[in-house]
Amino acid sequence: MFKHVEYTPEGVCSQKISFDLVDGYIHHVVFTGGCAGNTKGVAILSEGRNARDVARSLKGVPCHGANSCPHQFALAIEQALAEAGE
């Protein structure tokens, strides 16, 4: 199963998060905007990992209160998995 995701985060500095979900694994993560070092680090560390594991690790990471770019990425992953029926 392949799904390309374009997600618009809320309440954070990033304007867009895009990634591919391939057979339950994360690939080609790109954050548009946000703190470049942090978002690039999250993208690199997520590459090739199980999507559920990534979402579980990043959900609840704080920056702006209980929200952050990693938290928004976790929400995007969960939404993509639900839409894909996984």
* 75-82 mean pLDDT: 97
Q: Which of 26, 31, 29 is nearest to 9 (CA)?
A: 31
CATH of the domain at 36: 3.30.390
Domain total of the chain: 1
* 4: helix, strand or coil: strand
Q: Which of 40, 48, 39 is nearest to 70 (CA)?
A: 39
Over the stretch 57-71, which tens digit does the pLDDT of each residue have? 999 999 989 999 999
Supply the pTM of this predicted model.
Answer: 0.96
pLDDT at residue 64, rounded to an integer: 80
Q: 51 lies in which domain range?
A: 2-83
